[in-house]
Amino acid sequence: MIGVVICTHGAAGRGLVQAAEMICGQQAHLAVVSYEMGETTEALRQQINKSFASFEPLSEIFVLTDIKGGTPFNVMVDIIRDAPQYRLVSGVNLPMLLELFINRDNLGLDALTDKVLASGQKGIYQYTVSNEDADEDF
């Protein structure tokens, strides 16, 4: 099994996990790290390292952060820079998380990363009303 660490500003990660677990069920080997207002980057680094250590028997970890260039992302980059057994993807959304939870037991890191990225992109959609839609039931 591939471990999962979700690191976001505030409670965003916890909310996404709660929603995903409503659909996929409770997940093992999962850590959510929240970067709180006023927290130092060193304190965040310690939380992340502790979450990684909790996965000791696992060799591969998939990491999701909220935004590229944000503190959670930057600290993760610094920690995993030279570690090929980790994957880091930013821009976490619920479709990505569902894809990850569903497939992390069946796919390797590279294939899983491709699926997670594709699901995240496909999950972004703009609905526009047209005259043809007016009479349809959804």
Residue-wise pLDDT for 69-105, tens only, equals 999 999 999 999 988 889 999 999 999 999 999 999 9
Taking the complete model, does pTM exceed 0.75, yes or no? yes
In the predicted model, is pLDDT for residue 58 greater than 80?
no
Number of domains in the chain: 1
**pLDDT confidence of residue 1:** 84
Residue 83 tokens read as 């570690």
Q: Give the range of the structural domain holding residue 54, as residue numbers without chain letter.
A: 6-104
> For residue 35, what is the domain's CATH number?
3.40.50.510
91-94 CB contacts, 8 Å cutoff, 24+ apart: 91/66, 91/67, 91/120, 92/6, 92/8, 92/13, 92/16, 92/64, 92/65, 92/66, 92/120, 93/16, 93/120, 93/123, 93/124, 94/16, 94/19, 94/20, 94/123
**pLDDT confidence of residue 138:** 57
Note the pLDDT tens digit of each residue in 30-45. 999 999 999 999 999 9
Q: Which residue has the higher pLDDT, 13 or 56?
A: 13
**pLDDT confidence of residue 135:** 59
Note the pLDDT tens digit of each residue in 100-137. 999 999 999 999 999 999 999 999 999 999 877 665 66
- Minimum mean pLDDT range among 16-20, 52-56, 109-113: 52-56
Q: Does residue 117 lie within any of the structural domains?
A: no
Q: Does residue 109 lie within any of the structural domains?
A: no
Q: Does residue 81 lie within any of the structural domains?
A: yes
32-41 CB contacts, 8 Å cutoff, 24+ apart: 32/5, 32/6, 32/7, 32/8, 33/5, 33/6, 33/7, 33/8, 33/72, 34/7, 34/8, 34/9, 34/10, 35/7, 35/8, 35/9, 35/10, 35/71, 35/72, 36/10, 37/10, 41/71, 41/74, 41/75
